[in-house]
């Protein structure tokens, strides 16, 4: 049984261990894996200048934190189809025809064309999309350049995955908390299912906590592996999480199981909350969620009375029409049950004062208020845009020492759907230049048809990528990106925790691959603004960022962690970073923005008999992270084809059988997939696989390497009924659909020719 990671980073720093011996000619590097978003500490073995093996850390605290994606990385990143040189489009956009150019020529042309877009349409006509998970980070340099140039239109997949949770948590208590799994007595998983090879450290922490006696409550329509290990499993209807939490609050408030002292001294809006909660008697909650009222009550009692409890971040409430309310209800449960900033609960850590954090590097103060208010999505869905987040400037300065806190990169973002509308010529103003880094926008956001139209309508599209993804195929330039094996990394836990970790550079990047630091330094130069990135190298930049520690980067990178000792109940000295200084159960900022200041529950739109089933997507398969890893034979051997899951009864009613190719359809589009019968699925629910394309299939418009066959974003609606109101993010947990047998031939996938110089496999 793995152990929960210690909450105090001092234990990591002080752990005694001996490094494993290595063969002659092999050296080791301490690395942080960035093959997914969870950042395991691992070891790279290096031979003749190449990483030949990735293995688990020698430090016993991290020993179990590694999965198959990390282990396969040296081979996956040495794949023959890796983009090794800058590529310029030579045919029509989307023709799939590119030629090799130099970095210098590429940057010069990009700078000229970007300046023209800005001169013709204003700086807001430049939008950037990143998934900082895939690039590890861009250090805040993208935002820094955009802020100086005058564009607020930065978007990211974190808009529907953790970043938005961080932004919404601020409305209640001013920061995004992190759980003390090592000392907790109860863990609540909302639809989240960490496994041995997916979210591995979280899986290990939960298993470790259970081994020490912590209770596990799982809400999930599926009988997931976490549900099977749970003390209580609530098999709720898909998308009804917010209703379930109202049920818990009803029990906790009616039975007076909450922390009365904390509520009295440190919250505002309790009486209003109570009235709202009274609208949710258990009979109503049982109807909305499909769960037994006694079980709902029992789970609520276990959460409220077990001792300090943790509700870890979940992607499920990130992606619903009730997302803002769902996330707020989690914050309210934590708060009124006394779990905020206590040992075994969830801590508001603040910045590490020794490190120049990314929020500081981003320099949001230089972007004028006028440009901030032009951020796409501000008017209708302002919660995580500047308009929704600016009221936190004063409280954040008061409590955490600086005005802007871009936690998990999710505060101060534009709304993705509004950005794509503007790019497609359907918004308030035109967006005509689009950059994306380590991000595959066609498959990472809702409504692929809109995104494709938006990209085809651009004057300039630039990708910084490792592989020729479907989105990269629509670019003017594809610039080759390095990987986590090929650069150092100062990992500041995405800005929301005060522990900082370090990763060494293990090998040189292949070909002409460059880091995000070099990418943005090149773009700043091409815009005649070299002073915006004044450091010569990434290591120089890191020396600047760690200077307050009194160490150099070279000294710190050899260590495991740099940390601020955890402190508890810090709000007793500073108050909370909200306008009132209290936990705002009723949010003053949401009220000022014109929204309901209390959580609420929007029921589903009327049933459409043509689409009798409901689908959810967004779930990872163990061998893949987001839209990546499809090129690695070992991973594809595990998941050769995109599969939908149905239970036997639902499959029978739809007239489809195990292993058959089917079509999943709704009002927006359709995808093809193979059917797998899973008895863990409830009736009438369809699990759609996320992010599928096949690198071996034909590139360019009309094909996009299978993205048009399999990409789930073709089913993800972003019309008003399927958007969260406050954030404007899509509802992808319960979209009406139907499943029918595939009438055409099953899609063939013929391996593509390697279009790049072949690299030696690592092993
Ligand atoms: S869980 Fe796997 S892919 Fe993710 S960081 Fe850890 S080793 Fe890497």
Separation CA 147–CA 362 (nearest Å): 7
Answer yes or no: is pLDDT of 570 > 50: yes
Separation CA 476–CA 175 (nearest Å): 39
- The 10s digit of each residue's pLDDT in 390-423 is 999 999 999 999 999 999 999 999 999 999 999 9
37 included as an active-site residue: yes
Which tokens is 61 given?
């605290």
What is residue 16's predicted lDDT score, i.e. its pLDDT?
87
3-state percent helix, strand, coil for the chain, nearest multiple of 5: 35, 15, 50
Which tokens is 7 given?
């909450």
Give φ, ψ of 662 to 5 degrees: -130, 170
Separation CA 113–CA 93 (nearest Å): 16
Which tokens is 513 given?
């691959």
Q: Nearest 5 degrees, angle CA 98-CA 100-CA 101? A: 120
Answer yes or no: is pLDDT of 249 > 80: yes
Considering only CA atoms, which residue is closest to atom 1 of ligand 1? 200
Using CA atoms, how far residue 427 sits from 62, 193, 463, in Å, is 48, 37, 23
Q: Which atom of ligand 1 is nearest to the CA of 66?
A: 7
What is residue 566's predicted lDDT score, i.e. its pLDDT?
87
Answer yes or no: is pLDDT of 753 > 60: no
Give φ, ψ of 52 to 5 degrees: -100, -15
What is residue 424's predicted lDDT score, i.e. its pLDDT?
98
Q: Say how many Å lie between the CA of residue 71 and the centre of ligand 1.
A: 8
Q: Say how many Å lie between the CA of residue 409 and the centre of ligand 1.
A: 20
Answer yes or no: is pLDDT of 246 > 80: yes
Q: Could you please report the per-residue DSSP string of 30-71?
A: EEE--SSSS--EEEEEEETTEEEEEEE-SSGGGTT---HHHH
**Domain spans, the chain:** 9-78, 93-155+351-563, 178-347+568-593, 613-741
Give φ, ψ of 744 to 5 degrees: -75, 175
What is residue 5's predicted lDDT score, i.e. its pLDDT?
67
Percent of residues, the chain, with pLDDT higher than 90: 92
Regarding pTM above 0.85, the answer is: yes
Averaged pLDDT, 351-358: 96
Answer yes or no: is pLDDT of 752 > 50: no
Answer yes or no: is pLDDT of 554 > 90: yes
Q: How many Cβ atoms are within 10 Å of 53's Cβ, its own excluded?
A: 18
- Helix axis angle, 241-254 to 270-277, nearest 10°: 110
Q: Is it true that domain 9-78 has CATH number 2.20.25.90?
A: yes
- The 10s digit of each residue's pLDDT in 452-476 is 999 999 999 999 999 999 999 999 9
CATH number of 93-155+351-563: 3.40.50.740
Averaged pLDDT, 650-665: 98
Answer yes or no: is pLDDT of 387 > 60: yes
Considering only CA atoms, which residue is closest to atom 4 of ligand 1? 36
Answer yes or no: is pLDDT of 708 > 60: yes
- Helix axis angle, 323-336 to 241-254, nearest 10°: 30
Q: Put the strands of the sheet holding 41-47 in their side by side order.
A: 26-32, 41-47, 50-56
What is residue 745's predicted lDDT score, i.e. its pLDDT?
64
- The 10s digit of each residue's pLDDT in 276-323 is 999 999 999 999 999 999 999 999 999 999 999 999 999 999 999 999
Averaged pLDDT, 674-690: 98
Output b/e per residue, 664-695; b: 16+ Cβ within 10 A.
bbbebbebbbbbbbbeebbebbbbbbbbbbbb
CATH T-level fold of 613-741:
Barwin-like endoglucanases (2.40.40)
- The 10s digit of each residue's pLDDT in 356-367 is 999 999 999 999
Percent of residues, the chain, with pLDDT higher than 70: 97
Instruction: Map 626-665 to HEC letters.
Output: CCCCCCCHHHHHHCCCCEEEECHHHHHHHCCCCCCEEEEE
Averaged pLDDT, 477-492: 97
Q: Say how many Å lie between the CA of residue 476 and the centre of ligand 1.
A: 32
What is residue 3's predicted lDDT score, i.e. its pLDDT?
60
What is residue 749's predicted lDDT score, i.e. its pLDDT?
58
CATH number of 178-347+568-593: 3.40.228.10
Q: Which residues line ligand 1 (CB under 6 A)?
A: 33, 35-36, 38-40, 65-67, 69-70, 200
């Amino acid at each position: 049984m793995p152990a929960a990671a210690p909450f105090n980073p001092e234990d990591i720093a002080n752990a005694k261990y001996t490094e494993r011996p290595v063969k002659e000619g092999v050296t080791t590097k301490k690395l942080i894996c960035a093959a997914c978003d969870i950042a395991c500490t691992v070891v790279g073995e290096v031979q003749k200048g190449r990483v030949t093996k990735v293995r688990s850390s020698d430090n016993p605290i991290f020993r179990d934190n590694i999965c198959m994606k990390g282990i396969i990385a040296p081979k996956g990143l040495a794949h023959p189809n890796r983009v090794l040189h800058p590529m310029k489009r030579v045919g029509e956009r989307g023709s799939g025809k590119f030629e090799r150019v130099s970095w210098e020529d590429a940057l010069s042309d990009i700078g000229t064309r970007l300046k023209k877009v800005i001169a013709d349409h204003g700086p807001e006509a430049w939008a950037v999309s990143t998934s900082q998970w895939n690039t590890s980070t861009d250090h805040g340099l993208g935002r820094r350049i955009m802020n100086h140039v005058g564009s607020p239109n930065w978007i990211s997949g974190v808009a529907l995955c953790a970043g938005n949770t961080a932004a919404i948590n601020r409305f209640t208590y001013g920061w995004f908390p992190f759980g003390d799994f090592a000392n907790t007595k109860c863990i609540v998983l909302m639809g989240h299912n960490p496994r041995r090879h997916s979210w591995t450290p979280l899986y290990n922490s939960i298993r470790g906590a259970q081994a020490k006696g912590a209770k596990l409550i799982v809400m999930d329509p599926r009988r997931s592996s976490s549900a099977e290990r749970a003390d209580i499993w609530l098999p709720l209807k898909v998308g009804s999480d917010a209703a379930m939490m109202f049920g818990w609050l009803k029990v906790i408030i009616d039975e007076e199981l909450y922390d009365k002292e904390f509520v009295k001294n440190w919250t505002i809006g309790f009486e209003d909350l109570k009235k709202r909660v009274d609208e949710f008697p258990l009979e109503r909650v049982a109807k909305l969620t499909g769960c037994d009222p006694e079980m709902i009550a029992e789970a609520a009692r276990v959460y409220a009375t077990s001792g300090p409890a943790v509700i870890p971040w979940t992607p499920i409430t990130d992606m619903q029409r009730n997302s803002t309310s769902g996330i707020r209800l989690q914050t309210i449960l934590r708060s009124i049950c006394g779990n905020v900033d206590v040992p075994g609960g969830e801590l508001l850590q603040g910045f590490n004062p020794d490190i120049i954090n990314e929020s500081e590097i981003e320099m949001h103060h230089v972007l004028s208020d006028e440009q901030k208010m032009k951020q796409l999505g501000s008017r209708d869905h302002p919660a995580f845009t500047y308009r929704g987040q600016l009221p936190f400037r004063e409280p954040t300065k008061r409590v955490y020492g600086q005005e802007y806190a871009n936690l998990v990169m999710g505060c101060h973002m534009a709304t993705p759907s509004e950005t794509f509308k503007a790019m497609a010529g359907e918004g308030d103003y035109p967006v005509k230049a689009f950059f994306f880094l380590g991000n595959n926008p066609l498959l990472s956001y809702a409504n692929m048809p809109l995104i494709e139209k938006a990209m085809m309508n651009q004057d300039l599209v630039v990708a910084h990528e490792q592989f020729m993804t479907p989105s990269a195929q629509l670019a003017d330039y594809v610039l080759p990106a390095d990987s986590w094996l090929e650069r150092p990394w100062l990992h500041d836990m995405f800005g929301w925790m005060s522990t900082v970790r370090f990763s060494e550079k293990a090998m040189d990047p292949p070909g002409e691959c460059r880091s995000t630091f070099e990418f943005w330094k090149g773009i700043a130069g091409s815009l005649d603004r070299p002073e915006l990135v004044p450091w010569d190298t990434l290591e120089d930049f890191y020396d600047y960022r760690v200077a307050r520690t009194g160490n150099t980067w070279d000294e710190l990178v050899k260590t495991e962690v740099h940390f601020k000792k955890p402190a508890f109940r810090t709000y007793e000295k500073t108050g909370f970073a909200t306008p009132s200084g209290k936990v705002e159960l009723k949010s003053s900022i949401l009220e000022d923005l014109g929204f309901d200041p209390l959580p609420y529950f929007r029921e589903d739109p009327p049933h459409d008999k043509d689409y009798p089933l409901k689908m959810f997507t967004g779930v990872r398969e163990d061998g893949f992270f987001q839209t990546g890893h499809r090129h690695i034979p070992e991973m594809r051997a595990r998941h050769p084809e995109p599969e939908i899951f149905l239970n036997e009864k639902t499959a029978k009613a739809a007239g489809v059988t195990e292993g058959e190719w089917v079509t999943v359809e709704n009002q927006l589009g359709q995808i093809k997939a193979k059917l797998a019968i899973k008895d863990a699925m409830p009736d009438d629910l369809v699990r759609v696989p996320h992010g599928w394309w096949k690198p071996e299939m034909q590139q360019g418009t009309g094909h996009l390497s299978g993205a048009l066959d399999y990409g789930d974003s073709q089913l993800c609606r972003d019309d008003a009924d399927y958007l969260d109101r406050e954030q404007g993010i899509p509802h992808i947990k319960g979209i009406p659909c139907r499943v029918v047998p595939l009438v055409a031939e099953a899609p063939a996938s013929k391996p593509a020719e390697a279009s790049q110089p072949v690299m030696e496999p690592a092993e």
